[in-house]
Amino acid sequence: MPKPLFDYALRLADNALVLGHRLSEWCGHAPVLEEDLALANMGLDLIGQARSLYGYAGEVEGAGRNEDALAYLRDAGAYRNVLLVEQPNGDFAATMMRQLMYAAFAHPYCEALRQSRDGTLAAIAAKSAKELAYHVRHAAEWVIRLGDGTADSHRRAQDALDELWPYTGELFEADDIERALIADGIAVDPETVRAAWQRTMEDVAGEATLILPRSGWMQSGGRTGRHSEHLGHILSEMQFLQRAYPGARW
Amino acid sequence: MSEKNWPLWEVFIRSRNGMAHRHVGSVHAVDAAMALQNARDVYTRRGEGLSVWVVPSTAITASDPDDKDMLFEPTATKIYRHPTFYEIPDEVGHM
């Protein structure tokens, strides 16, 4: 039985959870204490967004699955996040570039989702939009300083931009499930935020003296459960406790 | 990671409208814009603030601890400067 609203909420939640988990991997490893906290703050913003969305998805599904069941008891093939968010942290430049690419999309997307005819999604989007606005600012300021910094930081920022660019196309994909929800005024058509995303990327790259790759062939597959090998490793760490000790609480 | 420390900034936070900014600590940052972000990330995680100031630590001129007898001791004997010698009528209530 098709459950479009469940699928849609799950996609949004998976993006937020996987990226939030990636940021949490920096905890205790960031170059300076201030950035350690900044990365953890952004990670917690995203995990908070995921919790709200999983809670709603479980409610919509009506099969008794709560946020923990959806986050900890699904295998990689059932995850619906875009490939961008599961890419490895790499160096600091790669993490900030990935954050910028995602947030520059997710911020205008959530601003648009505030108008959703679904009141719960609109409320979650309103809260998320404020958090994501800060992620855009923080990541952009860093990308500018790295790109327009030393020869080494410039090279790393440009490498990150080039390597992650093919993962940005998937942000704008919409399938039949989503198109039906878009027609109903519940989901946002990702194509409508492409111009805002492109403008942010161009502005930041310009200030950072980085060269935006020409849009070419794009990676795809996360939205249908075809993930890179990285997601399995993320889940094996993230889900370990619930898998080893089912129902564990603290 | 640089061997050299980033410049230090002093952080001031105003918790509510009408209150003064209060010194809460310091952060390292490469420039003023990043100092503001770091201050937000380090010192406002529990809803502490509505406004943040950052000031380069080098911009602060501090009194010399060795001068404290000269500067501050003389006030100790001037208790009449404290407004504690007034009888407040009960009708005034909480002041």
Q: What are the average pLDDT values for consecutive 10-residue runs of chain A, which has 250 residues?
A: 89 98 96 95 98 98 96 97 98 98 98 98 98 98 97 98 98 96 98 98 98 93 95 97 89
Cα–Cα dist A72/A243, whole Å: 8
Mention every residue, 6+ apart, whose C-beta is less than 8 A from residue B68.
none
- Examine residue A219 and state whether it is found in any structural domain, yes or no: no
Cα–Cα dist B41/A139, whole Å: 13
How far B34 CA sits from the closest chain A CA (Å)?
A: 8
Smallest Cβ–Cβ distance between A34 and the set B1, B42, B45 belongs to B42
Mention every residue, 6+ apart, whose C-beta is less than 8 A from residue B4.
none
Q: What is the pLDDT of residue A35?
A: 96
Query: How many structural domains does chain A have?
Result: 1
Mutation site, B3, B5, B36, B37, interface A, largest A CB count within 10 A: B37
Residue A185 in contact with partner chain B when CB distance is under 8 A = no
Residue of A nearest to B4 (CA): A32
Q: What is the pLDDT of residue B66?
A: 95
Residue B7 in contact with partner chain A when CB distance is under 8 A = no
Q: What is the pLDDT of residue B1?
A: 47
Q: Is A159 exposed, middle or buried (0-12, 13-18, 19+ CB in 10 A)?
A: middle
Calculate ∠ Cα A215-A221-A224, nearest 5°.
Answer: 140
Helices (H) and strands (E) in chain B, counts: 2, 3
For residue B2, pLDDT beyond 80: no
- Examine residue A218 and state whether it is found in any structural domain, yes or no: no
**Interchain proximity A145–B34, CB inside 8 Å:** yes
| Residue type at A69 in one-letter notation | A
How far A203 CA sits from the closest chain B CA (Å)?
A: 17
Cα–Cα dist B12/B18, whole Å: 15
- Examine residue A136 and state whether it is found in any structural domain, yes or no: yes
- Examine residue A250 and state whether it is found in any structural domain, yes or no: no
pLDDT in tens, B14-72: 998 888 999 999 999 999 999 999 999 999 999 889 999 999 999 999 999 999 999 99
- Examine residue A54 and state whether it is found in any structural domain, yes or no: yes
CA A130 remoteness from chain centre: 15
Q: How far is CA A3 from CA A9, A118, A238, A245, in A?
A: 10, 15, 26, 30
Residue A35 in contact with partner chain B when CB distance is under 8 A = yes
DSSP lists the bridge partners of residue B27 as B9
Please give the span between the terminal C-alpha atoms of chain B, in angstroms, as a whole number.
54
Domains present along chain B, CATH in parentheses: 8-92 (3.10.20.520)
Q: How far is CA B72 from CA A150, B66, B68, in A?
A: 49, 11, 6
| Partners of residue A141 in chain B, C-beta under 8 Å | 33-34, 37
Per the structure, the complete domain to which residue A194 belongs is given by 4-213+226-244
Residue A145 in contact with partner chain B when CB distance is under 8 A = yes
Calculate ∠ Cα A113-A115-A119, nearest 5°.
Answer: 90
Smallest Cβ–Cβ distance between B41 and the set A31, A38, A145 belongs to A38
For residue B95, pLDDT beyond 70: no
Per-position DSSP letters for B32-45, written without gaps between them: HHHHHHHHHHHH-T
Residue A133 in contact with partner chain B when CB distance is under 8 A = no
Mutation site, A26, A32, A204, interface B, largest B CB count within 10 A: A32
DSSP lists the bridge partners of residue B25 as B11
| Residue type at A216 in one-letter notation | G
Q: Which of A94, A90, A110, A96 is nearest to A15 (CA)?
A: A110
Q: Which of A245, A249, A157 is nearest to A209 (CA)?
A: A157
DSSP lists the bridge partners of residue B55 as B10
